[in-house]
Amino acid sequence: MNRIDRLFGILLLLQTKKYISADKIADQFQISTRTVYRDIKALLEQGVPISFEQPRGYYIVQGYFLPPVSFSSDEANALLIMERMVSRFADKSIFTNYTSALNKVKAVLKHAQKEKLELLNESIKFQLNHEWMNEEFDHLADLQNAISGKYIIEIDYQNQNKESSKREVEAIGLVFYAYNWHLIAWCHLRNEYRDFRVSRIVKVRNLEMPYRKTVHMPLNEYMKSLPVDY
């Protein structure tokens, strides 16, 4: 990677993170931390408002945005094939959001690229046993927001015996295993972490209340108890 591409890559990386350390930037681009410092200085000299907060790392001052970027054909093709994956391994809410994002990508492609993408779109098929996935639920986007926003939600849940219950939960993560999405959350009713299969969630409501539990188990730690080998 030449220096211009690396500088642009660092800028994109900074825009995807709230904070990022010099060590992580160095690992990402396989360069020394001394080179990171030089690259950050070069970006500052070009007017990019980068700041630093100890011990969190570098960040871009709020309000700065890159101009629209172009995509290579390979990048667009990669996004297209991921659309097939999303359509089979996510729910309606995620697929709708992904399709909207992909349409924005297509809008900035050159005419010749669009023609190739349309041809490729007709030439990719993804076959999966429908019994493996329940496509009727529409909750993943709401659950993602609850995790990132750290607010309590109430779910109407139906277990495998078709028994219904209401649960106030603090979501800590989403895990895909056994061909289903699972919500891992602290359940206020059971006073412990529980595993809720997302396809059995009937309804999700934002209670607009922050988490009451101050410290949560890391998701990776909970995953050690799941009945699968990661």
- Tens of pLDDT along 154-176? 999 999 888 999 999 999 999 99
For the chain, the straight-line distance linking the first and the last C-alpha, in angstroms and rounded, comes to 33
Q: Please, which pLDDT band fits residue 66 given cuts at 50, 70 and 90?
A: low
**What are the tokens at 137?**
């639920």
pLDDT value of position 133: 54
68: left (phi over 0), alpha (psi -120 to 50) or beta: beta
81 pLDDT higher than 80: yes
Average pLDDT across the chain, whole number: 86
As a whole number, mean pLDDT of residues 107-130 equals 74
Helix, strand, coil percentages for the chain (3-state, nearest 5) = 45, 25, 35
Q: Please, which pLDDT band fits residue 195 given cuts at 50, 70 and 90?
A: very high
pLDDT value of position 89: 83
136 pLDDT higher than 80: no
Question: Is the distance from CB of 42 to CB of 85 less than 8 angstroms?
Answer: no
Q: Please, which pLDDT band fits residue 8 given cuts at 50, 70 and 90?
A: confident
Of 198, 184, 191, 183, residue with least CA distance to 213: 191
What is the total residue count of the chain? 230
